Amino acid sequence: MLLDVVYNHLGPEGNYLRDFGPYFTDRARTPWGEAINFDGPHSEEVRRFFVENALNWVSDYHFDGLRLDSVDRISDQSAQPFLARLAQAVHDRAEALNRRIYLMAESDLNDPRFIRSRELGGFGLDVHWNEDFHHALHHLLTGEADGYYQDYRGVKPLAKAFTDGFIYTGQYSLYRQRCRGAVSRDLPAGRFLVFAQNHDQVGNRLYGDRLSGLVSFDALKLAAGAVLLSPFIPLLFMGEEYGETAPFPYFVSHRDPTLIDAVRRGRREEFAGFGWEGEPPDPQGEETFQRAKLNRELRREGKHRVLYEFYRALIRLRREHPALAHLSTENLGAASFERHRVLLMRRWAGEAEACTILHFGESPVTLELPLPAGDWRKVLDSGEERWYGAGSAVPPTLRSAGEVSLTLPPQAVVLFTTAEPE
């Protein structure tokens, strides 16, 4: 059980910390208001307050980890950053309790220092949310190219995410109009968390629409394959595993009329860069909240049931097959075939190998793919009728001399292996 904690800002309503000490600073601001005083005069006790808050959650409430919201919004120029002190304190407490406790960083900077060890100049956090992976996958599934999606055109960015973790590792970003990120390929794959959807990426859309409302059923299976067959830690958004149809729009429950108006105005301004047309649901409206409720009974019906079983099959393969269970980018190769909108990813562990083929095109395609010589067995094909596909021409077995010709179904994931799961 993990808890999402927000140490970069505090909400404007019901916030009385200012009455008790110098918790805020006017030397920096966040998109949500005043920054927390982590490095100014009298900041030592402020740091201690937040460190002890984290220790309280993991010690007294027995959480297994904390997801740290938007750590890039924490303003801290000190020689001993608050995040490094937090990581040290939590890991020391974990050792004393004989437990594993994980700290997950959400950041838009693509800065590997957050998850590098303190010995190598990092902060010592455990896991980094990889927004790059989501943006590249989302563009391929939906075709959206506005806002930050303009930086992720084509199949090649996703191929780099599979091999390197971050996609932007120092190159120029058209959206941000500056260089972004640093090299992350040396970091273990288990340090990155990937997803096709999350609360931010869904909730910060104009209508809070999920992938199930944006793409085809075949594309939902393709998204599942890209995430769960990756070498990274997968995250599934609530209801994603059965294709939940309820939107997840942004909603609040404030009392201050001035604050409510500011939230409404801010939501409209936030969508300006994406070219979305229309009026967002009223974030203060009760009906906005009611529309977001899940219907978990869907997982027993029709395509929803099939998608749920497809996720279960992927998770089972990920757990049982040695090449998929071994979380490493060192034993991984990925190649993109832009003209055909195909990505080929090979993973291996010892003699066991797995080859994942992701086809993002909307029509069947025939192409030559490099495949190591030997016998290969198809263990998953989302185009098959059992998965409510239109049928697949991919054979159940292959004998490769180094290259094979395949006809792939539209928007499909196909998995071949050379070894039986153990």
pLDDT digits (tens, 9 = 90+) for 338-388: 999 999 999 999 999 999 999 999 999 999 999 999 999 999 999 999 999
Whole-angstrom Cα distance, residue 116 to residue 121?
Answer: 7
Catalytic residues: 69, 106
> Hey, CA dihedral for 36, 42, 43, 45, is it positive or negative?
negative
* Confidence grade of residue 32 (pLDDT, cut at 50, 70, 90): confident
Please compute the mean of the pLDDT values over residues 94-117 and round it to a whole number.
97
Predicted confidence at residue 118, as pLDDT, reads 93
Res 303 pLDDT > 90 = yes
Res 264 pLDDT > 90 = no
Whole-angstrom Cα distance, residue 60 to residue 55?
Answer: 8
Percent of the chain scored above 90 by pLDDT? 86
pLDDT in tens, 312-334: 999 999 999 999 999 999 999 99
Predicted confidence at residue 421, as pLDDT, reads 44
Measured in residues, the chain has a length of 422
Whole-angstrom Cα distance, residue 68 to residue 223?
Answer: 25
* Confidence grade of residue 422 (pLDDT, cut at 50, 70, 90): very low
Whole-angstrom Cα distance, residue 48 to residue 36?
Answer: 13
Res 59 pLDDT > 90 = yes
Could you tell me where in the chain the CATH 3.20.20.80 domains are found?
A: 2-242
User: Which residues partner with 25 through β-bridges?
Assistant: 35
The token pair that represents 131 in the structure block: 């927004």
Whole-angstrom Cα distance, residue 168 to residue 190?
Answer: 19
Whole-angstrom Cα distance, residue 9 to residue 32?
Answer: 7
Q: How many CB atoms lie within 10 A of CB 137?
A: 26
Q: What is the mean pLDDT of the chain?
A: 95
Q: Which CATH number fits domain 2-242: 3.40.50.10360, 3.40.50.720, 3.20.20.80, 3.40.50.300?
A: 3.20.20.80
Res 419 pLDDT > 90 = no
Quick one: CATH architecture of 331-417? Sandwich (2.60)
6 contact partners, CB below 8 Å, separation of at least 6: 69, 70
Predicted confidence at residue 347, as pLDDT, reads 98
Cα Dmax for the chain: 73
Res 420 pLDDT > 70 = no
Please compute the mean of the pLDDT values over residues 183-194 and round it to a whole number.
97
